[in-house]
Amino acid sequence: MKRQLIGLTHYERISSMGRYSNISENAEQAMSIKYNTIVYDLKRKGVKVLVMSLGEAFFDVPLYSFAELPISEIYHYSHSLGIPELRKKLADYFLKQYSIPLNSDKEILITSGSKIAIYMALMAILNPGDEVVVQEPCWVSYPEQIKLAYGIPVQIPYDRSIYDYEKYITPRTKAIIINNPHNPTGYVYTKEEITYLLELAAKHNIWLLSDEAYSDFVMDGKFISPGSIDKEKNHTIIFNSISKNFGISGWRLGYIISNEKMIHNVLKINQHLITCPATILEYYVLNYFEKILSYTVPMMKELHEKRKAVAAYMKDIGLECLPGSATFYFFVSIIPTKLTSEEFCTRLLTEEYISVVPGLGYGYSCDKFVRISIGTSKLDEIKCGLDKIKEFIIKTS
Ligand code: PMP
């Protein structure tokens, strides 16, 4: 053993000595976070970058007083399902907004962001080697989270239809994940599609995991959650987030909605991993729920109009993207460039100072796409950026 190690670097020696798990060694970095980290570094050096890679919209939500919050509670752990009053507030909101009835004592758990909620749900349903079906482009963390829960992601190429999903279901399949509305395309699922997926879940006795982190970005009441059809939540697990819908991603508050048994199993995992989210922030959101929404809702409407203007501009200059109508993301084709999406994004960043995210992060079938976010830059700057992206595609063809 010792002799074989001669000639290896220090890093290789340590990893070949089995100090790290295969699962962590083989995990991929989140592509969006990787590129945004480069942007933060460049900005710190004073480089001006047009940022179209960030996964958020900047809403100017004012800071309300923390002094109003109950001092006897805020410094301490809270209930491991989340504080009852906030659970009740969310349950009322879900009924009114999305027609989803839920028992706030048993069917919802608030935790530190929806990312960990999704992972804990995967831990609650997967045995080693179980499969989870997800279509590309898929949010960067689904395949990695499935693997971290000892499951196998079965990734469907981007050009297949929802009605093809059944071909990918095997006796090992435990779940299908959808993201509605969709990051990175902005696609909003129709009632027919959601109904079909629920029928598929019932037929094969599997779960439909519905990640609804951007639900409030869908205008005109067009958002349909499986929870409004599968009211007993026999096959449905919903994830939602205070991050995007409330414009406070850094506060790490998210939640999971499902039937009592599922929530109980996730609760046990939550008790061992998280305990509870930051109590003070739960109270803050509870106290200022309506006030925060009174800021974010009009801004989301503005963003929706901005999205329409960007879509029209892309059409004018001949940039193509996958179908979508909500959120602040576009998944844009870079065909006919000769570059891979990573080469394209790295060169676009270092030569043109524009940051977008490589499509490869969203699946192998997506290497001729990039994700563009319009959440943080002004419309004129975005148009300028799109012109440069178009030129860069031509230059690298
Ligand atoms: N799902 C999707 C599709 C996302 O884009 C994100 C954040 N980028 C999350 C879940 C996680 O959100 P959070 O943990 O901030 O609630």
> Within the chain, where are the H helices?
2-5, 10-16, 22-25, 31-44, 71-74, 84-98, 114-125, 141-148, 191-204, 242-245, 260-273, 279-317, 341-352, 379-395
Determine the pLDDT at residue 2. Answer: 41
Q: Tell me, yes or no, whether 108 and 22 share the same domain.
A: no
Whether residue 69 lies inside any domain: the answer is no
For ligand 1, whether the C-beta of 113 sits within 6 Å is yes
For ligand 1, whether the C-beta of 173 sits within 6 Å is no
Q: Which of 234, 256, 288 is the last residue of a domain?
A: 288
pLDDT in tens, 220-261: 888 999 999 999 999 999 999 998 889 899 999 999 999 999
Q: Which of 269, 288, 307 is the last residue of a domain?
A: 288
Q: Is 314 exposed, middle or buried (0-12, 13-18, 19+ CB in 10 A)?
A: buried
Q: Tell me, yes or no, whether 326 and 183 share the same domain.
A: no
Q: What share of the chain is helix, strand, coil (3-state, %, to 5)?
A: 50, 15, 40
Atom of ligand 1 nearest to the CA of 114: 16
Asked if residues 327 and 189 have their Cβ atoms less than 8 Å apart, the reply is no
Q: Tell me, yes or no, whether 159 and 196 share the same domain.
A: yes
Q: What is the CATH number of the domain that holds 190?
A: 3.40.640.10
Q: Evaluate if residue 303 carries a pLDDT over 90.
A: yes
Q: Evaluate if residue 218 carries a pLDDT over 90.
A: yes
Measured between alpha carbons, how far is residue 387 from residues 184, 314, 383 in Å? 20, 9, 6
Q: Cβ contacts of residue 78 below 8 Å, gap of 6+? A: 276, 277, 279, 282
pLDDT in tens, 352-391: 999 999 999 999 999 999 999 999 899 999 999 999 999 9
What total number of domains does the chain contain? 2
Whether residue 222 lies inside any domain: the answer is yes
Whether residue 5 lies inside any domain: the answer is no
Domain membership of residue 141 as a residue range: 76-288
Q: What is the pTM of this model?
A: 0.93
d(C-alpha 174, C-alpha 193), whole Å: 19
For ligand 1, whether the C-beta of 134 sits within 6 Å is no
Strand order in the sheet with 357-358: 329-333, 369-373, 357-358
Q: Which of 288, 319, 336 is the last residue of a domain?
A: 288
- Site to probe by mutation for ligand 1, drawn from 114, 119, 256 as the one with most ligand atoms within 8 Å of Cβ, is 114
Q: What is residue 245's three-state secondary structure?
A: helix
Whether residue 232 lies inside any domain: the answer is yes
Q: How far is the CA of 280 from the centre of ligand 1 (A)?
A: 21
d(C-alpha 392, C-alpha 372), whole Å: 15
Q: What is the DSSP letter of 321?
A: B
Q: Tell me, yes or no, whether 31 and 143 share the same domain.
A: no
Q: Tell me, yes or no, whether 102 and 137 share the same domain.
A: yes
For ligand 1, whether the C-beta of 115 sits within 6 Å is yes
Q: Evaluate if residue 112 carries a pLDDT over 80.
A: yes
Q: Tell me, yes or no, whether 260 and 132 share the same domain.
A: yes
Q: What is the CATH number of the domain that holds 53?
A: 3.90.1150.10
